[in-house]
Chains A and B, each alone.
Chain A
Amino acid sequence: MATATAQTTDAPAQRELERRMLRQMLLIRHFEEKAAEAYALGKIGGFCHLYIGQEAVAVGALSALRDDDYVISSYREHGQALARGVPANAVMAELFGKATGCSKGKGGSMHLFDAGRRFMGGHGIVGGHIPLAAGLGFAIRYKGGDQVCICYFGEAAVNIGAFHETLNMASVYKLPVIFLCENNRYGMGTAFERVAAVTDVVEHACSYDMAAELVNGMDVLAVYEATRRAAERGRKGGRPTLLEVRTYRFMGHSMSDPLHGVYRTKEEVEEQRKRDPISQLAGKLKEEGVLDQAGLDALDAEVRAEAEEAVRFADRSPDPDPAELTTHVLAD
């Protein structure tokens, strides 16, 4: 596995980057906790897939990208939207189905979009968005740009045909795409090893002559570095990369599912919680004297307030006008 050895050409800048990453991870954690509360209160409907435990994967990777790069994801995408800079208010309002949501209340938890930030959606069919990422990469190449497209998907999507068709074509067409597999070990309640003949996702890259890295997804700096290398590969040579980022979800598959039970043990979840990516980075920053406990508490309070404000904002935002039912079916 790639280990965390961040490039420290500029120590203050590196410290600022790490501090920013910690802030974003904390924001996602608090945001998701608030979302869980709101879901329990019936303010959020439908499916709601929380990102708690996986924060380092969104934050580490997206910190390594530029504003003009494309980001596309599956339905567990609140964390990536926040890490991309979509305001917490707009994300929470979308979960609440409000007109002020980032998709005007028409997408919900699984379909967060912010075209201005090149956040090209949450998509709800497992693996269905993987070809879209290659299409975004194709457009970059077509226009002669040096951007990349990053595509988040879970390990369960690797068993879908779209994954294989797309990796093949991305390699054949030399597309600047980072395929980032968030391997959280379970597709809903099914352990990956029970349904996958090859359990090291990274090995699939061999079939498509693609660069690949196995990354510790609980180490935000490792994710950052691996993504930086992959982006470089995309920008310079128009080559795709497959990153298998090993992570763990601390919550159930969605809000309707149990945390543990038939498919994984309580002990396993508790063991994994000891690897909490936020505690790890906070510990590192404390150890290095970048942040003391008071500083950490202040940061925590700041983002907690941001998440609470997002709930208040969503709560007081209006529902979409009934006329919105029939808008945006077709473009002019």
Chain B
Amino acid sequence: MATLTYRDALNQALREEMQRDPNVFLMGEEVGVYQGAYKVSRGLLEEFGPMRIVDTPIAELGFAGIGVGAAMAGLRPVIEFMTWNFAVLALDQIVNSAAKILYESGGQIPIPIVFRGPNGAALQLAAQHSQAWDSWLSHIPGLKVVAPATPADAKGLLKAAIRDNNPVIVLEGEMLYNLKGAVPEGEHIVPIGRADVKRPGRDVTFVCHSKTVAVALKAAEQLAEHEGVSAEVLDLRSLRPLDEEAIVGSVARTNRAVVIEEGWPHAGIGAQVVDVIQRGAFDQLDAPVLRVTQADVPMPYNKQLERLAKPSPDRVVAAARRVLYLD
């Protein structure tokens, strides 16, 4: 197995799927000549040419809609948003067109499209460039949403997304692009809707996804080292559909849970996970489920304030101590 960065794993997935299926094309800002704002599409213009690696003007609504229209005619577009912050301008096309056309046409017109790009905060980009849209996008029937945390999952989920006959949102992370990990070569597909135990444990379940998987793993290490606590880290990988069975299964064994996410607390992904837990593992719970989220504020620019706003291993450890009644 080769060691690749998350960025190169995505690049490999795109290249392999474009080689496999001539209907797959990539469209977005800076994806071609500039080789990608985050270099995810490096080398693709040279290999596939400008008809399949399409540079766009800064017009998110327009090119997202062009993608949906192309999907209506049977192509399989991959629409790259430079970041999901800008994709808010394209929400009409994602929500009103991509997610609804199959249903409102009575099943006549599937929309096999991928919308992808980095989501959530990076470093000191301030409020408008540091937002996690996970819960917004997961709210919409007709969409699937995935948020890989590792290079292997990035490759496998992007390939699955491109082959899916529905609109699939792929939430990447600017802070993840340089992350290295082992990536299976060739045909490596991660099924959408399946969570993954990134670290097995007995005493408490950390439910997390995307960037917060690293946060949860670090917290689990600290707890093991200092408290002798065994935390299970469950990476959701898909936010819609949600792997309810995996969540309930893990919490039924550990009897305690902390849900961690990059988004804001109000109506966040964690709220949905807590609902799954209270319905599926009510009798097994030994403590209220706690959540660790971004602070309920627009992201500040100042470095210290930004650090305070983000989920951190320390905050996860503190939440774990509370659900374990260690305080």
Interface positions of A (Cβ within 8 A of B) = 70, 72, 101-107, 111, 113-115, 120-121, 123-125, 128-140, 142-143, 161-162, 165-166, 168-169, 172-173, 327-332
Distance to closest chain A CB from B161 (angstroms):
13
- With a cutoff of 8 Å between Cβ atoms, the chain A residues found around residue B51 in the complex are 142
CA distance A72 to B57 in the complex (A): 24
Contact B142 A330 (CB under 8 A): yes
Contact A138 B107 (CB under 8 A): no
Contact B74 A139 (CB under 8 A): yes
- Chain B 95-113 per-residue mask, 1 if CB under 8 angstroms from chain A, else 0: 0110001111111111110
- With a cutoff of 8 Å between Cβ atoms, the chain B residues found around residue A103 in the complex are 104-106, 108
Q: List 29 A-B contacts (CB under 8 A).
A: A70-B73, A101-B106, A103-B105, A106-B106, A107-B105, A111-B104, A113-B106, A113-B109, A115-B108, A124-B96, A128-B92, A128-B97, A129-B97, A130-B65, A131-B64, A131-B93, A134-B62, A135-B65, A135-B66, A135-B67, A136-B70, A142-B75, A165-B62, A168-B62, A169-B62, A328-B103, A328-B107, A329-B103, A331-B165
The number of A-B residue pairs with CB atoms under 8 Å apart is 145
Contacts A128-B97, A129-B97, A166-B65 known; A139 to B106 CB distance under 8 Å?
Answer: no
Distance to closest chain A CB from B221 (angstroms):
38
Contacts A120-B109, A139-B74, A329-B141 known; A132 to B65 CB distance under 8 Å?
Answer: yes
- With a cutoff of 8 Å between Cβ atoms, the chain A residues found around residue B56 in the complex are 169
B177 close to A (CB within 8 Å): no
Contact A142 B62 (CB under 8 A): no
B71 close to A (CB within 8 Å): yes
- With a cutoff of 8 Å between Cβ atoms, the chain B residues found around residue A120 in the complex are 72, 109
B69 close to A (CB within 8 Å): yes
Contact B63 A169 (CB under 8 A): yes
**Main secondary structure on A side of the interface with B:** mixed
- With a cutoff of 8 Å between Cβ atoms, the chain B residues found around residue A173 in the complex are 54
B59 close to A (CB within 8 Å): yes
Most buried by B among A124, A128, A130: A128
Contact A162 B65 (CB under 8 A): yes
- With a cutoff of 8 Å between Cβ atoms, the chain A residues found around residue B37 in the complex are none
- Chain B 143-173 per-residue mask, 1 if CB under 8 angstroms from chain A, else 0: 0100000000000000000000110000000
CA distance A38 to B71 in the complex (A): 36
Within B67-99, the residues touching A (CB, 8 Å) are: 67-75, 77, 92-93, 96-97
Contacts A128-B92, A128-B96, A169-B62 known; A135 to B70 CB distance under 8 Å?
Answer: yes
Distance to closest chain B CB from A27 (angstroms):
23
B25 close to A (CB within 8 Å): yes
Distance to closest chain B CB from A11 (angstroms):
37
Distance to closest chain B CB from A276 (angstroms):
33
B61 close to A (CB within 8 Å): yes
- With a cutoff of 8 Å between Cβ atoms, the chain B residues found around residue A143 in the complex are 73
Distance to closest chain A CB from B84 (angstroms):
19
Among candidates A134, A135, A169, residue contacting B57 with C-beta atoms closer than 8 Å: A169
- With a cutoff of 8 Å between Cβ atoms, the chain A residues found around residue B65 in the complex are 128-132, 134-135, 162, 166
- With a cutoff of 8 Å between Cβ atoms, the chain A residues found around residue B105 in the complex are 103, 106-107, 111, 113, 115, 121, 328
Contacts A128-B93, A330-B166 known; A169 to B66 CB distance under 8 Å?
Answer: yes
CA distance A124 to B103 in the complex (A): 14
- With a cutoff of 8 Å between Cβ atoms, the chain B residues found around residue A134 in the complex are 62, 65-66, 69
Contact B96 A125 (CB under 8 A): yes
CA distance A130 to B63 in the complex (A): 11
Distance to closest chain A CB from B239 (angstroms):
15
CA distance A328 to B71 in the complex (A): 16
Distance to closest chain A CB from B167 (angstroms):
9
Among candidates A124, A125, A135, A329, residue contacting B68 with C-beta atoms closer than 8 Å: A135
